[in-house]
Structures are given as structure tokens and as C-alpha cells.
Amino acid sequence: MSCVVIVGAQWGDEGKGKIVDIYTEDAEIVVRYAGGPNAGHTLVVGDDKLVVRLLPSGILRPQTRCVLAQGMVIDPDVLLGEVDELIRRGHRDVEKRLCVSDRAHLILPYHVLVDTLREAAPGGIGTTKKGIGPAYEDKARRTGVRAGDLRDPVRLGQRIRAALEAWAPTIKHLGGEVPSAEEMLAKLEASTKRMVSLLANTSLIVDAAVREGKRVMLEGAQGTLLDIDHGTYPFVTSSSAVAGGASIGTGIGPNRISTVLGITKAYATRVGSGPFPTELNDGDGQHLREVGAEFGSVTGRPRRTGWLDLPALRYASRVNGIDGLALTKLDVLTGLSRIQVCIAYDTPEGRTEEFPIDYLDVPGVVKPVYQEMPGWSEKLDGVRVLDELPKAARNYVRFLEEAAKVPLFLLSVGPRRSETIVLHNPFVGRAAAP
Ligand code: GDP
Ligand code: IMO
Ligand code: MG
């Protein structure tokens, strides 16, 4: 049985897309289990770059079946736009390799409207304005429209009318205009037939694949610190991004998951508002943004940048049960004369090595404690084995691995497939000792 979860260990954009793409060379099914088009997962193959938002990052591997599972919220226009883009790029069989859970919730234009109006009002948290929060609110309020509702036009009309009635006071309060149900239905009609042809009971499909011993990859979106339960609430997304969410969002038992792989950058970034204790607003932060091309893959917003936070990484390791780490973007640190790593926090109760998440609501209450490490000037993109790393980079990696208390499965030194050192493949064999 090999069912591997890939989960972001920070605030998203850790490089999940690249790592899923690397390991799906050996996977038969890749499943997105949470989130929606707020995700932007970048795949670089040769000179081509593709950013997928709803499609699983296994989509470029021709042998891989791709599943959008029931924990997701799906905007039909975005999904079909992505499919068309892939067809345009020559991947003509995309729709044959794709299925969408009939229990996944739909993002409809009123969700995007509410998200956008809220962001324009005071108190916005810097969402991606893709309708994510309102769509999950509808799910929890039991006024959501599920993909399976597209099969029955009468039921679809009833569900949309009920949802619009529920949203009308909010939209008016925010100064917006309530769209008509007829307008929504007319818009949906254009995509209904294609969407219906993709629908399936994806829980059955994935469970059967796992039982048959197929290699299944469950692809997380966002990151642990954006998780609705375990993130820096309320500056979070509205879904269960953590590994536990993979079981619920896919519809398979937690005991079916064999490995949890956490992805972390060699530094930290965050998009949107919210606590970020190791944030840098100086030349080093600028270096990380420019060299790391840290601009949002969905919104283009400059990402906030900072030093790696080891207490946060250990926290992510705990709440996800991370078995192995993929460390990405080590190459971006080249050129910094010294590197800082947060190893602990000073809190009103003293020094702690735990991530002080409950203190983060008020800025300045906790202070990161840093360890300084020497930097290096050599480029890393040509490095293919750990021993080729400059000594300072090798020490940095070794230090992180020991402090995180999790073995390193993969090291990434550039965006391309070739710029990767795979130390362990969770689909093949056991992990080597660090
Ligand atoms: P995701 O949301 O976790 O899939 O990550 P994104 O795709 O939003 O952001 C990661 C960015 O870093 C993308 O532009 C990737 O192409 C790029 N990337 C991934 N791994 C590496 C790496 O090791 N080095 C460098 N320089 N870029 C990388
Ligand atoms: P991937 O999968 C980085 C952030 C937004 C905002 C907060 C809530 O590419 O790592 P939302 O639109 O979800 O309601 O916004 O979450 N956010 C992300 N940040 N990467 C992502 O996805 C994100 N998805 C949401 O910036 O702060
Ligand atoms: Mg991203």
C-alpha cells in the first residue's frame, strides 16, 4: 500500500507543485484534496512553465489519473479554462485522465463577489478573492451547491435560489448588487455538459486504487499555517490544508495513508496579512524576494519574506505527522554572507522551542531567537548530490534536518525537474538514515 500525502509545512508556496510533479513519475493517481483556485502550483518542464490552480500537479505525467476530490471547492470556469489551456499546449487527453467528485462544492460568481467586496471593506485579510471563504461558508451553512447538482437542472435552480437568498443581506450590506438566479443558471449552462462528463464518486475510485496497491499521491494546497484549525487564525484559508484533511477531503480512511511528506523552503514566505514573526523588511528580505522570484503565482502580489522558523517547522511536523521533508529553494540563499534561523522564541513565560501560536495575535509579544550560520557564494543549480554542496550549505541542510527531527527526503536547488536531489522516494523502498 503506498498512499503519500504532500503537505505544505509553512504558509503555502513551498514548492508543492514541483515536488508532486517529481514524485508522480512513479504515481498512478494524483488527488487534490482541499482548497480551490486560491492555489497556484508551478510546474517547470524544460523551458515551459505551467501554473495549475485546480488541476492536480500530476497532470503533465501522461500515465497519471488526476482527481479533484470532495474536500475541494471548484470554480467550473477556472477548471475548464485550465483544461483548455492544457489541450492548447498539446495534452489532448486531459479530460480522459481527469475526474471530479460529485460531492465537491462549486464556487459560483456570488462567492467571488462576496470575497471581493469583503476584501475592499475594512478588515480584509488579503485573500486571493477567488471565492474560497464564501464557498466553504455555504458548505458549512448547508446552502452549498455541489458539483453533482449540475446533473439535475431543477435541483440546481432550487439550490442556487436558496443560496442567493441567504447571501442577499450580506451582499447588500457590503454595497453590492445581488445577482439573479437566472443569470447564474445561464452562465453555468455553458459549462454544465463538460463538467457533468467529469463527475464521479472519487472516494470509491481512490479507495479502490489504494486497495489494489496502486501508487496514490494526495496533493495538499496552501500550508499548515494557513489551515483553518491549525493555522494563524483568523489569517487563514477556509479549508483543512493539513495531512488529516487528506483523509476527509479524499474520502479514504486515515489508515490508508502510508507516508506524509512535508515541503518547506529553506527560508519563509507569506502572502496576505497575518503574523509572520521572522519577517524581514531589509536587504536580506529583498534578496529572498528577488532571487526567489517571490511573487504570488495566482495574484502576482509580492510575497513577504523572512528567515526559516524551526519551531514552526516542528509544529507543522507534529500536526501533520510528517515522515520526511522536502527542502526547496536552497539555491536562493546563495550570495547571502550570513543566514539566520529561528531556533526558539522568547515569550512572557520564558524561552520556548515550541511555536508560540497563541501569542501571535498581538505583535511584538514574542521574539524569535536566531542562530546565525555562515552563508556561501557558489551557485547550487548544478549540484546533483549532497556532497557537491559547498560546506556552508551542507552544514545548513544538516543543521535543519537535525533540528526539525525529520529526515530529508528531497533537496531542491532550482525550479526545474533536473535541479533536484532525491534522497528517498516514498513510493519505493524505505528511507535511508540521515
Ligand atoms: P506551491 O504553491 O507550493 O506549489 O509553490 P508555488 O509554485 O506557488 O511557488 C514556488 C515557486 O518556486 C515556483 O515559482 C517554483 O517554480 C519555484 N521553485 C520550486 N522549487 C524551487 C527551487 O528549489 N529553487 C528555485 N529557485 N525555485 C523553485
Ligand atoms: P498554494 O497552494 C499562499 C492565503 C491568501 C490569504 C489567505 C486566505 O499555492 O500554496 P483565501 O483566498 O484562501 O481565502 O485566502 O490564504 N493563501 C495562500 N497563500 N499560497 C496559497 O496556495 C494560498 N492560498 C491562500 O493569500 O492570506
Ligand atoms: Mg502557490
User: Of the candidates 140, 163, 194, which is a domain's last residue?
Assistant: 194
| Segments in 33-102 forming alpha helices (H) | 76-88
Same domain, 287 and 416: yes
Q: Does position 253 have pLDDT exceeding 50, yes or no? A: yes
Domain for residue 326, yes or no? yes
Would the CB of 414 count as within 6 Å of ligand 1?
A: yes
Q: Does position 432 have pLDDT exceeding 70, yes or no? A: no
Distance CA 68, CA 31 (A): 6
pLDDT of 429 reads 65
CATH number for 80: 3.40.440.10
List the domain range (segments joined by +) for residue 409.
265-422
Reported as type and span, the H/E element at residue 317 is helix 310-320
Q: Is 123 left (phi over 0), alpha (psi -120 to 50) or beta?
A: left
Residues assigned a catalytic role: 13, 41
Please compute the mean of the pLDDT values over residues 272-293 and round it to a whole number: 97
Share of the chain above pLDDT 90, in %: 94
Q: Does position 296 have pLDDT exceeding 90, yes or no? A: no
Peptide bond preceding 234: is omega within 30 degrees of 0, i.e. cis? yes
Same domain, 252 and 356: no
Q: Which of 32, 41, 128 to mutate to test the pocket of ligand 2 (most atoms within 8 A of CB)?
A: 128
| Class of residue 192 by CB neighbours under 10 A (exposed 0-12, middle 13-18, buried 19+) | middle
Q: What is the pLDDT of residues 157-170, one digit of tens each?
A: 999 999 999 999 99
**Angle at alpha carbon of residue 195, lines to 67 and 180, rounded to 5°:** 130
Distance CA 144, CA 156 (A): 10
Reported as type and span, the H/E element at residue 373 is strand 367-374
Same domain, 325 and 415: yes
Distance CA 31, CA 113 (A): 28
Same domain, 227 and 349: no
Would the CB of 57 count as within 6 Å of ligand 2?
A: no
List, in order, residues 6 or more apart from 344 with CB less than 8 Å away.
311, 351, 352, 353, 368, 369
Give 48 Cα–ligand 1 centroid separation in angstroms.
14
Q: What is the DSSP annotation of 140-186?
A: HHT---BGGGGG-HHHHHHHHHHHHHHHHHHHHHTT--PPPHHHHHH
Same domain, 189 and 206: no
User: Of the candidates 259, 284, 299, which is a domain's last residue?
Assistant: 259
Overall domain count for the chain: 3
Domain for residue 428, yes or no? no
Q: Does position 35 have pLDDT exceeding 50, yes or no? A: yes
Same domain, 298 and 208: no
CATH number for 307: 3.90.170.10
Same domain, 315 and 415: yes
Same domain, 183 and 216: no
Q: Which three cell numbers stand for residue 327?
A: 527542502
Would the CB of 102 count as within 6 Å of ligand 1?
A: no
Distance CA 239, CA 223 (A): 10
Q: Does position 433 have pLDDT exceeding 60, yes or no? A: no
| DSSP conformational letter for 25 | G
Q: Which of 42, 52, 54, 291 to mutate to test the pocket of ligand 1 (most atoms within 8 A of CB)?
A: 42
List, in order, residues 6 or more apart from 34 with CB less than 8 Å away.
71, 72, 220, 221, 222, 239, 240, 241, 245, 246, 249
Q: Which of 328, 379, 408 to mutate to test the pocket of ligand 1 (most atoms within 8 A of CB)?
A: 328
- State the ligand closest to the CA atom of 270: 2
Same domain, 88 and 109: no
Q: How confident is the model at residue 241 (pLDDT cuts 50, 70, 90)?
A: very high
Q: Does position 434 have pLDDT exceeding 60, yes or no? A: no
Would the CB of 264 count as within 6 Å of ligand 1?
A: no
Domain for residue 371, yes or no? yes
Same domain, 226 and 335: no
Which of 241, 336, 268, 239 is closest to 15 using CA atoms? 268
List, in order, residues 6 or more apart from 176 with CB less than 8 Å away.
113, 114, 117
Q: Does position 219 have pLDDT exceeding 70, yes or no? A: yes
Strand partners, 108: none
Average pLDDT, the chain: 96
Poorest-confidence range of 45-49, 225-229, 348-352?
45-49
- State the ligand closest to the CA atom of 265: 1
**Angle at alpha carbon of residue 273, lines to 174 and 175, rounded to 5°:** 5
Domain for residue 433, yes or no? no
Same domain, 133 and 16: no
Would the CB of 13 count as within 6 Å of ligand 2?
A: yes
Give 38 Cα–ligand 2 centroid separation in angstroms.
6
CATH number for 173: 1.10.300.10
Q: How far are the Cα atoms of 59, 178, 298, 421 from residue 75, in angstroms, in the given order?
A: 18, 19, 14, 36
List, in order, residues 6 or more apart from 28 with CB less than 8 Å away.
63, 64, 65, 209, 214, 215, 216
Domain for residue 95, yes or no? yes
Residue recorded with cell 489569517: 235
Please compute the mean of the pLDDT values over residues 71-91 and round it to a whole number: 97
| SS3 category, 256 | helix
User: Of the candidates 242, 259, 276, which is a domain's last residue?
Assistant: 259
State which ligand 2 atom lies nearest to the alpha carbon of 41.
9
Give 265 Cα–ligand 1 centroid separation in angstroms.
9
Residue recorded with cell 515522515: 323
pLDDT of 1 reads 66
Same domain, 88 and 225: yes
Which of 421, 430, 427, 417 is closest to 44 using CA atoms? 417
Would the CB of 39 count as within 6 Å of ligand 2?
A: yes
Q: Which three cell numbers stand for residue 305?
A: 519574506
Backbone angles phi and psi of 218, in degrees to 5:
-105, 115
pLDDT of 255 reads 96
Would the CB of 41 count as within 6 Å of ligand 1?
A: yes
Domain for residue 429, yes or no? no
State which ligand 1 atom lies nearest to the alpha carbon of 263.
3
Please compute, for residue 407, the number of CA atoms within 13 A of its CA located in the half-sphere on the CB side. Answer: 14
